[in-house]
C-alpha cells in the first residue's frame, strides 16, 4: 500500500512540472522613435509584461525580432533593426530571463500593413514572441 501511495505522489508531482497547455500569448510589440534604439517607459513596461509571460510559460523560448521603416539604406536599416532587437533582449535578461532562451534577429525594413492608415512607427518596432 505504501508503494502505491508513493507512486501516486510521484505521478502527481510529475504532472505539476509540465508546462500549461493552451495558446501562447500574442506577440508583444515594442515601438521606437526614428533612428533610435532607446527604451522609453512604454517600452520598458511592454518588455516587463513579456518577461512575466515568459516566466509564466516554462519550456518556451523568446524570439525577439527587430524591424525598421523604409527611411535610409538597407544596410543602415538592418543595423538599427538588429540593435533594437539586442537592446530589447538585454532588457529581458535584466528582467530575469535566461539569455540562452532568447533568439535575437533583425530583419531590416518591414512595411506597415496598410500604408494609408497605419503610422510609420508600426515598422519601427521589435516583436517579442513566445515559441514552444
Percentage with pLDDT > 90 across the chain: 62
* CA–CA gap between residue 36 and residue 46 (Å, rounded): 17
- At 18-63, the pLDDT tens digits run 444 567 778 999 999 999 999 999 999 999 999 999 999 988 899 9
This prediction's pTM: 0.78
Question: What would the grid cell of residue 88 be?
Answer: 530589447
Query: For the chain, which domains are there?
Result: 25-131 (3.30.1330.60)
Contact 77, 124 (CB under 8 A): no
Amino acid at each position: 500500500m505504501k508503494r502505491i501511495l508513493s507512486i501516486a505522489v510521484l505521478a502527481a508531482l510529475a504532472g505539476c512540472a509540465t508546462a500549461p497547455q493552451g495558446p501562447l500569448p500574442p506577440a508583444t510589440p515594442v515601438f521606437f522613435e526614428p533612428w533610435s534604439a532607446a527604451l522609453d517607459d512604454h517600452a520598458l513596461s511592454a518588455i516587463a509584461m513579456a518577461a512575466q509571460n515568459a516566466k509564466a510559460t516554462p519550456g518556451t523560448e523568446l524570439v525577439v525580432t527587430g524591424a525598421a521603416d523604409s527611411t535610409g539604406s538597407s544596410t543602415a536599416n538592418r543595423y538599427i533593426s538588429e540593435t533594437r532587437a539586442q537592446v530589447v533582449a538585454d532588457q529581458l535578461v535584466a528582467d530575469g530571463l535566461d539569455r540562452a532562451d532568447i533568439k535575437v534577429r533583425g530583419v531590416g525594413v518591414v512595411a506597415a500593413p496598410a500604408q494609408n492608415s497605419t503610422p510609420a512607427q508600426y515598422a519601427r518596432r521589435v516583436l517579442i514572441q513566445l515559441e514552444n
